[in-house]
Structure formats: structure tokens, C-alpha cells
Amino acid sequence: MKKTIFIAFIMFIISSVFCWNSVGFKINDYDLIKKYQLPAWGYSLGDIDFSGRGYYHRSDTDYKRVSEDYSVSLSPGFLRSFESEKIKYLLNAGINTYMEYSEYQNEEDEYNYIRRIYNLLPRINGNCNYYIKYNLFMNFSLDSRFNYYEVNDSQDSQDRIDRQINTTSFWGIGIGKIREVSPIFRALRLRERVEALNRQMTLTESQITKLADKFALYPQYANIYDRYEKYFWKEISPILGSDFENLSLSENLYLTEVMQEYIKRYQGNEILFGVNFWQDYEIDRTDDKIRKLYLGPSIILNYYNNINLKYQFGLFSEVSYLKYLTDDSNEDSKFIFDVTNSHLFDITDRIRWDSRIGLEYNYIWYENIDGYTIRATLTSIVDFFIENNLSLYCQLKSELTHVDKDLYENNTYDDYYSDLKRDERMSIYFGGRYYFGSMF
């Protein structure tokens, strides 16, 4: 635990130093981010994936041996996304179907084996924010899937069938608004690239605003067109104006490279009050039925603030109470408190540091006892890149779990081991590449 606290403290101090000493916004840049309005746009995408496989093998000696296997899969899907200042929603639905037939014959052993497999997996998930007024909205989210799996085996007198339904849903009302401001950041980064050409050129606030609206539509082009870059930049050229028509090929490529930069920024805050609903229903191959139903209130807080072009501060917190409404769980109810603090430090496309510090507190009531668990998590990712010279990356993750004495003494903890007292994990991934070479 001391290691985790020490690392978290060092990260917080360093990120704060970087925050206040890094280059800030230019005049009115911060106003552009605060006043940025989501454009009304959306797209629909339907697809059908089909695949098949066949295998046949025959061996003849004094006896014949034949092995064959055939399968086919069909997966239609539909995706619809829409975003505006009034409403924002995402709907994703599809059905995965799979059928397999396999057979094996051996004349020597007078053995004949046949197996058939059928699998059906329909699913639907979505999320919707509808703003009643400027900062008052209703939220609804759903994730539901049904899994049907059947196996017919010639060596088994009874078919094996598994059926499972999983549903999670949240209904609530919220205050505030969080916008993804990545498009305006990308437009500001394009201005930096334009000024770096040393042609006494720049972008006005009006151009930056118009470019941000177009950059927000970039996923729409990528989902609809095959050669989407062609159609996208055709719409960008009139915004940039005639001054950009005389740029060389290398300068144009330098500007268009802005779309390859990793930029994911949010701005704003919101608080949600609602109800969580979870259901797991399963009928296994022996027709045993297992049903788990959870219901309870929840409060969720999200907060993002971009201190400057290089630093974003984020905070997530959730307080929930879940009541178990069925007898299939040994838990009666649970109180959950979860808080995560995030820091994103970004220097153009050369250095990126993303760190998160999280704390989760659970208090669980069983039939005869109750107790708590605490889990602290620290995650830090650093990417450093010097073009044509050096690239480095490092990812650090540390997790500590502490279980109340009353829980582990009665072997009631569900995760890892029932008698778990303390669990500490730490992992680090790192690597790099040094470039050297010359043209001849």
C-alpha cells in the first residue's frame, strides 16, 4: 500500500508542475473551447458478415477413415449514431448465428461419430441523452443480449442446451453537460502546423470554428466512404481559402497529418441521479434455472476541465446501493463508492501521459454478517516519440485489495479466494526503439 501511495503522490506532484508551467492557450482560445457547440450530425451503418469453412480428410488402408467438418456463420448488424446540442444517442444491434456439422467414421473400429452445433446470439445496446433545457437532461442506457447454444452429439442420448439472458440498464435525470471538444483541439493543432510552415499564414477564429464542425464529422466520412480522406479534405479546402493552394506536396502532407494525432478531450461537468437495473437469467443443460436480479439508486458525477492545451483534469465518482431481489445470491445488498482521478498530459503528438488513480469501497450485507472491501488502483501510461530518432513507452499498473476481517474469516468473499485477506498486484510494461540509418 505504501508503494501505491508513494507513486500516486509523485505522479500528482509532477502532473501539477507540468500543468502550470506548460504553454497555455492563445488569446480567446479558451473561449472557443468553452463556447464550442456540437454540430447536428449522425450516420447509419448496416452490414452483413458471412463466412464459411469446410474440411474433408479421407485415409484408405484396409479400412476407410473419413473426417469432415463444415461450418457457416451469418452476422447482420446495424449501427446508428446522432449528436447535437439537443439530443445525443447511439444504437447498436445485431445477431450472430453459427452452425457447425462434423463427422468422423472409422471402419476398423466400426465407429461413427456425428456432432451438430447451433449458436444464436442477438444483442442490442444503446445510450441516449435528451436535453429538456440547456443543462437539464434525461439519460437512458441499455445493454441486453441473449445466448442460445445447442449441441447434438450422436454419442450422447440427450441434447445439451444452454440459454442465458444478460441485461443491464440505467434510467436517470441529470444536470450539466459534457462535450467532446477534440474537434476544436484538432483545429487549434492545425493552426499550429500552419504557423510552423513559416509562410506568415495562420487561421482565424471563424476558420477554427468551421474546421471544428467539419472535424467532428470525420467518423461519418470514415464509416460511409471507402476513400473517405478524398471526400473529407474536399470539404475542408474552401474553409482554408486560396492562400493554401500554393503549398507544396510536403507541406500539404504535413497539414493533413493532423488527423493522425491522438486527441481525445472533453470539457464540462454533469451529475446524474437514477436507478440501476441488472438481471442475469440462465437455464443450463440440466434445466437448472439461475436468476439474479439487482435494483438500486445511483448518483454519478463526471467532471473534465482543460487547464491548457497540454493538460486535462478529470474526475469520476459514483455512489450506488444495490438490493438483491432474488434468492440465488448469498448477498443481500451492497453499497458502492467509486472515485477515479485522471490526468492527461499531452505535448502535440510527441509526448502523451495518461494517469488514473482510483478507489473503490464496497460494503456488503449478507444474511448473518456484513463487511467491507477496499480496492485502490493506479494506472499510468507514457508515450514519448522523437521523429526518426527514438520512441519509448511505459505502462504501470498497481492494484491493492483489502478485505474486512469478518468477511475472510467466514469465507464469504466472492473474488479470487473466499478467505482472501489482502491482494497486491503490480505490473509494468516498457519498451523502446532507437532509429539509425542513412540514405545512399
**pLDDT tens digit string along 362-408?**
898 887 788 888 999 999 888 887 766 788 889 899 998 888 887 76
pLDDT at 287: 75
Residue 423, in any domain of the structure: no
When comparing pLDDT for 287 and 306, which is higher? 306
Asked whether residue 234 is domain-assigned, the answer is yes
Alpha helices (H) in 170-225, listed in sequence order = 182-196, 205-216, 218-224
Residue 319: which pLDDT band, with cuts at 50, 70 and 90?
very high
Query: Which has the minimum average pLDDT: 69-83, 136-150, 237-251, 368-382?
Result: 237-251
> Does 426 or 409 have the greater pLDDT score?
426
pLDDT exceeds cutoff 90 at 123: yes
Higher pLDDT, 141 or 252: 141
pLDDT tens readout for residues 271-291: 999 999 988 888 877 777 888
Residue 24: what pLDDT? 41
State how far the Cα of 230 lies from the Cα of 29, in Å rounded to an integer. 29
For 210-252, write each residue's pLDDT tens digit: 898 888 888 778 777 878 888 888 888 888 887 788 888 888 8
In a domain, 424, yes or no: no
- Distance, in Å, from the CA atom of 300 to the CA atom of 276, rounded to the nearest integer, reads 11
Residue 244 lies in a domain: yes
Query: What is the full DSSP assignment across 305-368?
Result: EEEETTEEEEEEEEEEEEEE-SSSSSEEEEEEEEEEEEEEEEETTTEEEEEEEEEEEEEEEESS
Q: Is the pLDDT of residue 329 over 70?
A: no
Give the pLDDT of residue 13.
46
- Local confidence band at 23 (pLDDT 50, 70, 90 cut-offs): very low
> Does residue 129 contact residue 137 with C-beta atoms inside 8 Å?
yes
Q: Domain for residue 365, yes or no?
A: no
Cell numbers standing for residue 401: 485489495
pLDDT band at 95 (very low <50, low <70, confident <90, very high): very high
Please give the grid coordinates belonging to residue 211: 474546421
172 or 385, higher pLDDT:
172
Q: With contact defined as beta carbons under 8 Å apart, do 38 and 215 qualify?
A: no
3-class state of residue 154 by DSSP: coil
Given this model, what pLDDT does residue 20 score? 32
> Contact 231/222 with Cβ under 8 angstroms?
no
Binning pLDDT at 50, 70 and 90, where does residue 256 land? confident
CA distances from 409 to 340, 365, 418 (A): 30, 15, 9
> Among 8-22, 115-129, 284-298, where is mean pLDDT lowest?
8-22
Q: Is residue 212 part of a domain?
A: yes
Which element (helix H / strand E) includes 372?
strand 370-386
Angle of CA points 392, 394, 398, to nearest 5°: 175
Q: Distance (Å, rounded) from C-alpha 170 to C-alpha 203?
A: 43
What is the distance between the alpha carbons of residues 20 and 310, in angstroms, rounded to a whole number? 10
Counted domains in the chain: 1
Judge whether 124 and 92 are in contact, CB under 8 Å: yes
* Domain encompassing residue 198: 182-260
Percent of the chain at pLDDT exceeding 90: 29
* Residues paired with residue 377 on neighbouring β-strands, in sequence order: 358, 399
- Give percent above pLDDT 70 in the chain: 87
pLDDT at 358 over 90: yes
The pLDDT assigned to 414 comes to 62
Whether 86 is in a domain gets the answer: no
Name the CA radius of gyration of the chain, rounded: 28
Between 26-40, 66-80, 94-108, 178-192, the lowest mean confidence (pLDDT) is in 26-40
Assign 318 a pLDDT band (cuts: 50, 70, 90).
Answer: very high
pLDDT bracket for residue 298 (50, 70, 90): very high
| Domain-embedded: residue 220 | yes
Rounded to an integer, what distance in angstroms lies between the CA atom of residue 137 and that of residue 302? Answer: 14
Q: At 158, is the pLDDT very low, low, confident or very high (cuts 50, 70, 90)?
A: low
**What's residue 435's pLDDT?**
76
**Average pLDDT of the chain?**
83
